[in-house]
Structure 1
Amino acid sequence: MARVKLIVSRDDIAAEHHAIFDELAALRGRISGPSTVVLHSPGLARPWNEISEYLHRHSIVEAQHAELAVCATAREKDCSYIWNAHVPLARKAGVSATTIDLVRDRRGVIGMSGPEMAVVQYVRQLVQNNRVESTVFDQLLQAHGPQWLVELTVWIGRYQALAGILNGFDVRPTMAAEELPVVPSAATTVPTPSLRSTPRVEPITRREQVPQAHRAIFDTVAEGRGSVRGPFSILMYSPVLCRRHLDVGTFLRFNSRLEADSHELAIIATAREKDCPYIWAAHAPAARQAGISDAVVSVVRDRRDLAGVPAAERDIVDYTRQLTKRNAVAPVLFDSLHGRHGVPWLVELTCLIGHYGIVAAILNAFEVAPAPDAEQLPLAASTKGT
């Protein structure tokens, strides 16, 4: 049973928000899945949903590859809701039964077609290890181009974020469903952290790099951020998707219920769990400025035990860690945050973690590094899985 009341009818939401409820219900015939949770923050629900609408209606990633990536992400995030919703779509799109079984059981990729193999390897490496080996990245880049690979990466990041909502709030399929078997992750070697000074594709940082039709989007990003850099310099390969991503970030940055200290603490905790030096360099100073002590920043950076961290801060870091690494949140922790802050706040915290998970996926996959003199996040190569 879900941990909060799910919004499934107009009666579940204040009359002033019926318009957004009706808008989302019209898109798919009903409100279901993550939307039943996100609608607890009606102002976030529209921009949050716009990313999914782009991916499902306009993405250049073919349905076969997109649905395979979603299923592989659902498996890596142990999300039975997404798995059961998308396996039929994957089959319809042409993903073989053999490949679906290999993904479900977390077996090796032998037996998949070459294109399927590359997509599954990309998902597993990015989700498990926060990095992608050059051979896998280059194969997909050469076969499909940068816009396609940017959008595939957002598909993966997006469904990690949706899995976070569903897993965190314990939303399960309502009909007879296939349970994902408990299977250890397939072993994957983490690439040695890159020392590259330039990303894997040319960043889009100048207006003239963008087609005329999309320069207004470039201008919007530049006006809001001062320049087009970091994740936006990669997301601009898919300008409309970039704009929709920006809209979510703008809401979370300026309209969220989270206080500045909680907001920045969640971001640096996500940066740490996602091993993302760029986000860390951008937000560790902001966290201190918002009132997070240097001692707490150090605990997050070094992945140390949270004993001694003030309860309100400890719970945010622990929630981020559990959601990111365990794909589940202990009831006592969920209840603590729920009791202290309420449902809309907790929804926005979960979406913030998911949003920066997408940012980290883009930055890590495309190897966008912070400035050499920026605050460093220690990284180490390792092997995850069994």
Structure 2
Amino acid sequence: MSPSRRRTPRACAPRVAPGGIGDIGVVNWLACRVAGRAAGTGPPNLFLTLARRRGLFRGWLWFAGRLMPGGTLPRRETELVILRIAHLRDCRYEFDHHVRIAGRSGVRGRDVERVKAGPSAAGWTPREQAILAAADQLHHARDLDDETWARLRTHLTEGECVELTVLAGHYEMLATVITALRIRPDRPRRPGRRPQG
């Protein structure tokens, strides 16, 4: 099995437990709660884990927010790239988290299934197909060949291409962190139930 398709044991205990308010501080705790509300969960386990390094977490949060939701690429395309990287990395946490929030950006159930099938699946626009093909190549080759780059440039500006490569690389990095630390998936918040904590 290739390293990118290696399955992380799902029942493993987290290697670093998500922090409580005393571990991560009040400001970080509030940021985690806000993120959970936006995602339809309690405070995300990824955030609660990263927040154990308080300053690093705040810096990462600012950086990540500049990519999503604050990037210049359309949110639908951003979510398609994130979902594709999460699928290729077999990162259930990342994939499930973004399936929950992608619907608000126009990503429907049929799109999620097509993301799993890849850029050659029927139904993508030429721009989406070029973006997803680039995401695949960045994952598999850690590079873009000239043909993929030329195709991408027919649809995206140079600045958008920079953002796309950083976006894909960032979610590859997060998948590595999630896998290595055995971060458990978040549970969707039940309607009418207030999050604990």
Range of TM-score over shorter length: 0.7 to 0.9
Alignment pair present for 1:254 and 2:65? no
In 1, Cα distance between the equivalents of 2:96 and 2:138?
A: 22
Structure 1 residue 208 corresponds to structure 2 residue 25: no
Corresponding residue number in structure 2 for 1:242:
57
Output the CA distance in 2 between the equivalents of 1:265 and 1:306.
Answer: 14
The amino acid that maps onto 1:271 is A
The alignment partner of 2:112 has SS state of: helix
- For the pair 1:217 / 2:28, whether they are aligned, the reply is yes
Deviation at 1:293, TM superposition (A): 4.4
Q: How does 1:275-294 map to 2 (within 5 A)?
A: 275-294=90-109
Q: Which residue of 2 aligns with 1:306?
A: 120
Question: Which runs of 5 or more residues in structure 2 are unaligned?
Answer: 190-197
Structure 2 counterparts to residues 74-85 of structure 1, below 5 A = none
Say whether the 8 Å CA contact 1:269–1:320 is kept in structure 2.
Answer: yes
TM-score computed with the length of structure 1 as normaliser: 0.43
Alpha-carbon distance, 1:276 to partner: 0.7
| 1:332 aligned counterpart, secondary structure | helix
For 2:53 and 2:188, the matched residues in 1 are separated by 30
Give a deviation string over 1:263-296, Cα, whole Å, max 9, x none.
1101101111221101111112433442234333
Paired amino acid for 1:129: P
* 2:169 counterpart SS class: helix
**Matched-pair contact (CA < 8 Å) for 1:230–1:363:** no
**2:151 corresponds to which of 336, 352, 376:** 336
Confirm or deny that 1:270 pairs with 2:85. yes
Cα 1:257–1:263 change in 2 (3 A) is same
Which range moved further: 312-321 or 223-232? 223-232
Task: Mark the CA change 1:343 to 1:304 in structure 2 (over 3 Å): closer, same or farther.
Answer: closer
- Cα gap change, 1:229 to 1:294, in 2 (>3 Å): closer
Percentage identity across aligned positions? Answer: 22
Structure 1 CA distance for aligned equivalents of residues 99 and 177 of structure 2: 19
Deviation (angstroms), 1:218: 3.5
What is the identity, as a one-letter code, of the residue corresponding to 2:88?
E
Answer with 1 or 2: which has the greater Rg. Answer: 1
Read off the aligned partner of 1:341 and give its amino acid letter.
Answer: L
**Compared CA separation, residues 293 and 335, structure 1 to 2 (3 A):** farther
Alpha carbons of 1:361 and 1:325: their partners in 2 closer, same or farther (altered >3 Å)?
A: same
- Is the 2:72–2:160 Cα contact (8 Å) retained in structure 1? yes
CA distance in 2: counterparts of 1:267 and 1:305, whole angstroms: 13
Match of 2:3 in 1: 129
Query: Structure 2 length normalisation: TM-score?
Result: 0.79
Name the CA distance, whole Å, in 2 between partners of 1:372 and 1:218: 18
- 1:336-355 to structure 2, matched below 5 A, reads 336-355=151-170
Q: Secondary structure at the match of 1:255?
A: coil
Partner of 1:321: 136
User: Could you tell me how far apart the structure 1 residues matched to 2:27 and 2:109 are?
Assistant: 40
Equivalent pair of 2:119/2:130 in contact (CA under 8 Å): no
Structure-to-structure mapping, 1:156-171, within 5 angstroms: none
Alignment gaps of 5+ in structure 1: 1-127, 132-189, 375-386
Aligned to 1:194: 9
Read off the aligned partner of 1:216 and give its amino acid letter. Answer: V
* Secondary structure at the counterpart of residue 194 of structure 1: coil
> How far apart in 2 are the matches of 1:268 and 1:315?
15
Q: CA deviation at 1:197?
A: 6.3
Report what 1:358 is aligned to.
173
Q: Which amino acid aligns with 1:222?
A: R
CA deviation string 1:54-107 (max 9, x = no partner): xxxxxxxxxxxxxxxxxxxxxxxxxxxxxxxxxxxxxxxxxxxxxxxxxxxxxx
1:345 to partner: Cα distance: 1.2
Conserved in 2, the CA contact under 8 Å of 1:320 and 1:353?
yes
Q: Which has the higher contact order (CA 8 A, sep 6+)?
A: 2
